[in-house]
Amino acid sequence: MITVAEAQARCLALAAEVSLPSEQVPLADAAGRVLSAPARATRAQPPFSASAMDGYAVAATSVAPGDSFEVVAEAAAGHAWGGALKPGQAARIFTGAPVPEGAHQVVIQEDVSRDGDRITLLPSLGNGPNIRPLGADFGMDHSLTAPRRLGPAELALLAAMNVPEATVRMRPKVALLATGDELVMPGGNPGPDQIIASNVFALKAMIEAAGGEATIMPIAPDREDALQAIMEDMRFADLAVTIGGASVGDHDLVAKVGARLGLEQSFYKIAMRPGKPLIAGQFGEGRPYLGLPGNPVSAIVCGYLFLVPMIRQMLGESDVLPAPLTARLAAPVGANGPRAHYMRARMHEGTNGREVTAFDRQDSSLLTVLSEANCLLIRPAGDAAQPAGAAVTVLPT
């Protein structure tokens, strides 16, 4: 069995072989997409020297309380005054307005007393010029580099750069296939020996949050011919994912049927709990494949550690693995076995920094426990029992 790190490296290598085309999308639809080509500004921001405050633009290189100016003009945002101030003159000005030629600073209106067309600077006078120079945010030559995930700040920046559409990587299409005669979709009519298919919904949400497009395939029964037919229908996808049927039981058919369809395995089984029977590989044409274990928590933890990073890799991002944090144990934990254990746990900020408590019940079928967890506490393979206060590694979920 290979380690989690080795399995992650192999999964990312499989994903790196996928090359997705780019598309243009309007900024309003580009949230969460990954920019795939640099975007260039077609103007500077601000495109003129702009007032940062409401007040008076004054024609003087230095000012002192008691100085007095004649107000000869007015400039507001979107309404420049085209003239030039002479020494001793001022223009009434508002935030965002172009600063007139000849003005050296803007005095805020709170620091001014006005009498008709004359202003006099008050003792409260501040010292800032209150002027945003042309191009203070970015110049004409500015470019937003790719790859880059477009969050609120990037979208606003692109808009300010007058870039109406972003060139983004197309979303990888991910097919999700749950297998097992015992499974019925939510709202269906389960027999007494059946359960509801649950983990596909978690995985679909994770895929979509990572920037992929998930399609839930019909549930495949535990019959080779039917499983093969539905697995063949996953050919449209950039990444095919099966759930369940990965272990060693007589009805665990995924690896067998996969091989018949030309699946080349990269690995099968990892030294990890939950998630031991994970399969990764590739169908012809370089399309990656991930076979997740069926237990709901196993599938979701593997989704977090392997599937989401693969999607992010396909989108061209770097640093795609979940970022670990350090914490201290709030309660002791027992010795770990031969597989790295990703324990469902809850962390919080304590008086001495981040503290984490593992849940007592760690069975990989327990969705109630997973839903109370906000992190995975990583126990290395063969780790000894650890006392409260020991430093540990956690992955926020």
- Pick what 195 binds: ligand LQZAQKY5, ligand MOO, none; C-beta below 5 to 8 Å, kind-dependent: ligand LQZAQKY5
The closest alpha carbon to 378, from 265, 301, 283, 297, belongs to 301
Q: Which of 275, 288, 296, 316 binds ligand MOO (CB under 6 A)?
A: 275
Nearer to ligand LQZAQKY5, 254 or 320 (CB): 254
Q: Tell me: cis bond preceding 147? Omega within 30 of 0 counts.
A: yes
130 binds ligand MOO (CB under 6 A): no
Question: Residue of minimal CB distance from ligand LQZAQKY5?
Answer: 294
Min dist CB 274 to ligand MOO, Å, is 3
364 binds ligand LQZAQKY5 (CB under 6 A): yes
For the chain, how far is it from start to end, CA to CA, in angstroms? 25
336 binds ligand MOO (CB under 6 A): no
The closest alpha carbon to 378, from 342, 348, 354, 346, belongs to 342
Q: How far apart are CA 185 and CA 120, in angstroms?
A: 76
Binding mask 284-303 for ligand LQZAQKY5 (x = CB under 6 A): ---------xxxx-x-----
Backbone angles phi, psi at 18, to 5 degrees: -85, 130
Query: According to CB under 6 A, which residues from 74 to 113 bind ligand LQZAQKY5?
Result: none
Q: DSSP string covering 281-336, please? A: EEEGGGEEEEEE-SSHHHHHHHIIIIIHHHHHHHTT-SS-SPPPEEEEESS-B---
What is the identity of the amino acid at 220? Answer: A
276 binds ligand MOO (CB under 6 A): yes
Binding mask 208-227 for ligand LQZAQKY5 (x = CB under 6 A): --------------------
Q: DSSP string covering 132-199, please? A: E-TTSSB-TT-EE-SSEE--HHHHHHHHHTT--EEEEEPPPEEEEEEB-TTEE-TTS---TT-EE--H
Residue identified by tokens 């640093």 is: 319
Min dist CB 185 to ligand MOO, Å, is 23
Q: What Å distances lie between residue 370 and 308, 344, 358, 397, CA to CA? A: 18, 6, 11, 10
293 binds ligand MOO (CB under 6 A): yes
Token readout for 116 is 């008709």
Nearer to ligand MOO, 244 or 316 (CB): 244
303 binds ligand MOO (CB under 6 A): no
282 binds ligand MOO (CB under 6 A): no
- Pick what 294 binds: ligand MOO, ligand LQZAQKY5, none; C-beta below 5 to 8 Å, kind-dependent: ligand LQZAQKY5
Q: How far apart are CA 342 and CA 378, in angstroms?
A: 5
Using the contact rule CB under 6 A, the part of the chain among 41-49, 132-140, 164-172, 191-199 near ligand LQZAQKY5 is 191-199
Q: How far apart are CA 340 and CA 383, in angstroms?
A: 8
Nearer to ligand LQZAQKY5, 36 or 298 (CB): 298
277 binds ligand LQZAQKY5 (CB under 6 A): yes
Collapsing DSSP to helix, strand or coil, 72 comes out as: strand
Q: Which of 53, 103, 197, 206 binds ligand LQZAQKY5 (CB under 6 A)?
A: 197
- Pick what 178 binds: ligand MOO, ligand LQZAQKY5, none; C-beta below 5 to 8 Å, kind-dependent: ligand LQZAQKY5
Nearer to ligand MOO, 198 or 295 (CB): 295
Binding interface with ligand LQZAQKY5 (CB under 6 A): 178, 180, 182-183, 195, 197-200, 243-249, 252, 274, 276-277, 293-296, 298, 364
